[in-house]
Structure 1
Amino acid sequence: MGTQPPAPFVYVVWCEFAPGEDLPDWHRWYDEVHIPGMLSVPGISAVHRCQLLGRENQFLAIYDIESPAVFDHPRYAEVRGWGPWQGHIVSWSREVLSRTGAIGEATGRQAT
């Protein structure tokens, strides 16, 4: 069984969610509505969500994409954005990055 090489680009979205808001409902919407919608866009193959350590309301989403052209697809226009949570996002930013380095497994070795 072979593994598929990673997508040549990543789309990274950072956001800060308003303090005191309902994080469980936010996560539910993101996991059950937003991610499936984004994965329905041709050329988006994976999503990884992260929470910044020590920062309860700050999150990072990393999307594996085939090309920045995914943003021109009509389906992307339908599913992008914060949906009903728009007013709860304090700040956010996004970038598209090209993969440039080798990707491999960690060896588990420690420096001596």
Structure 2
Amino acid sequence: MKTPMFGDGHGVLLWMLESTPEVDEEWNRWYNDEHVPALVEVPGVRTASRWVVSDVLVGTAPAKYLAFYELDDLGVLETDAYHRNRASLGPGMRREWTTQMLGAIVRAAGGAYRIDDTHMRGDGVGPATDLIAIGADSDVDEALRQVLDAADGISGWRTLTRAAGSPKIAGMMERDVTPSRLLLCAVDDVAAAAPALMASLPSGAASFAIAYERLLALPPHWPSMGLDSPERATPPPADRPPRGLA
């Protein structure tokens, strides 16, 4: 059975992140090979996906990449398993590499979010090929809801409110201000969906609207594309030596 793009979890961990350009290639290998598989192993983490900016529709992109984790609830982020795996302290994980790559993050926005509303069309099976993320400090009004539910190319949408006490990332040089609310649109055709969606936004309502294309989706029964591969969907063996700074 496949997992829907937006499931019935009650919390989301969402980060918009970017590393120093010099380590971008290695940082993406670490994120796909080490970090995401480690977090997917945490009880209560239902799905994970990674995305890269494909177009800036409004404003400026907070960072080049977006990572999205659906959770049973936000209590998952308080568990020993989450803190252990986030730092790569579990068996076979590469702690030194994780320490190095977390320290290479220079732009970050996001954190923990409560799920306010979710709408999917049809069976909503599998992650979309594209995502539009809109930052705003107001709720979705009825006119925008009608566009979201009717526009071509949008397979589903979800609204999020940032939770108090969102986790921080140690070592990063800059943390952008994140809007209190986010609208995520699962999109199969950005060119078809974007015009109606952008036209329906009240003037000044969005601090940014960014289109992303999918890089990675886990668990493995999600169809994947881009940087991932079957090898990258498998955690490293326990006897693999750690890499990175001591």
Please indicate the TM-score interval, normalised by the length of the shorter structure.
Answer: 0.7 to 0.9
Q: How does 1:1-112 map to 2 (within 5 A)?
A: 6=7, 7-19=9-21, 21-53=22-54, 58-80=64-86, 83-93=99-109, 94-105=111-122
Secondary structure at 2:68 match in 1: strand
Length, aligned pairs only: 109
Cα distance per residue 1:14-47 (max 9 Å; x no partner): 112112x232211111111101110111100111
Secondary structure of 1:101's counterpart equals strand
Task: Give the distance between the partners of 2:48 and 2:106, measured in 1 at CA.
Answer: 22
- Greater Rg, structure 1 or structure 2? 2
| Shift in alpha-carbon separation, 1:87–1:70, aligned structure 2, 3 A | same
**Cα gap change, 1:26 to 1:99, in 2 (>3 Å):** same
The whole-number CA distance in structure 2 between the counterparts of 1:78 and 1:58 is 26
Q: Percent identity?
A: 24
Bigger mean CA offset, 3-12 vs 83-92:
3-12
Give the conservation status (yes or no) of the 8 Å contact 1:47–1:63. Answer: yes
Q: Is the 8 A contact 2:13 2:71 kept in 1?
A: yes
Determine the C-alpha separation between the residues in 1 that align with 2:84 and 2:64: 25
Question: Using the alignment, how far apart are the partners of 1:99 and 1:27 within structure 2?
Answer: 30
Which range is displaced more, 89-98 or 37-46? 89-98
Query: Root-mean-square deviation (CA), in Å?
Result: 2.9
Secondary structure in 2 matching 1:29: helix
Tell me which of the two structures has the higher relative contact order, counting C-alpha pairs closer than 8 angstroms and 6 or more residues apart: 1
How far off its partner does 1:3 sit? 6.0
- Could you say if the C-alpha distance between residues 64 and 3 of structure 1 is closer, same or farther in structure 2, counting changes exceeding 3 Å? closer
User: Using the alignment, how far apart are the partners of 2:16 and 2:77 within structure 1?
Assistant: 17
Between Structure 1 and Structure 2, the one with more helix by share is 1
- Residue deviations 1:80-107 (CA, integer Å, cap 9, x gap): 2653212211121223131412222498
Contact kept? 2:11, 2:112, Cα under 8 Å: no
SS, match of residue 76 in structure 1? helix
SS in 1 for 2:54: coil
1:33-79 Cα offsets, whole Å, 9 max, x none, are 10111011110011110112257x61100001110000111011112
Amino acid at match of 1:96: Y
